[in-house]
Amino acid sequence: MSARIRAHLVCAHSRRPASDGQFVDFTSYHRRKEDAVIQDKIETIRSSSSGVLGRARNTARGVTVAFDSSSRPQADALTNSEAFLAAVSSCGVTLIEMHAKDTGVPLAGMDVTIEGARTAAEPNRFARVSMTFELAGVSQTQAESLIETYRQR
């Protein structure tokens, strides 16, 4: 039995809620974590000019991937915003699959579709992000539980 559940995530103009209920800039949020030395894992990506206007080479752990500017997309690479959205949705796939395996839930497969909307007034920010999870081989209750695990992490 397949379950299809839609979860909505909102990007609040790259800001995160602080403990006092105020919002802090996303960059400041990460700096504060670094200042407090709360880092258990550091991941480093190096982005470099590629020699093609509007394209950057991004390298991590010996793997290199090209990303294009949204204003100059080419057929052979994701745009920066597509790569960002792909990272979020692939996290959903891998986290849910691993959790299902670890907890004995018979997940046969899944697809996550993510869509980010940007307004003409603020084209550099996502006004809304929505994700659709499609899980196969599980009941509706199991699917909802797996997706809730993703939301909590």
CATH topology of domain 3-152: GMP Synthetase; Chain A, domain 3 (3.30.300)
In the chain, what's the furthest Cα-to-Cα distance? 51
Q: Show Cβ contacts of residue 142 under 8 Å, excluding neighbours closer than 6 positions.
A: 3, 105, 107, 135
Stated as kind and residue range, the H or E segment containing 98 is helix 80-103
Q: Residues with Cβ < 8 Å from 70, sequence gap 6 or more? A: 79, 80, 81
Output the tens digit of pLDDT for each of the chain's 153 residues.
445 544 433 333 344 455 555 544 443 333 444 454 566 888 999 999 999 999 999 999 999 999 999 889 999 999 999 999 999 999 999 999 999 999 999 999 999 999 999 999 998 899 999 999 999 999 999 999 999 999 998
Q: What is the pTM of this model?
A: 0.72
Domain residue ranges in the chain? 3-152
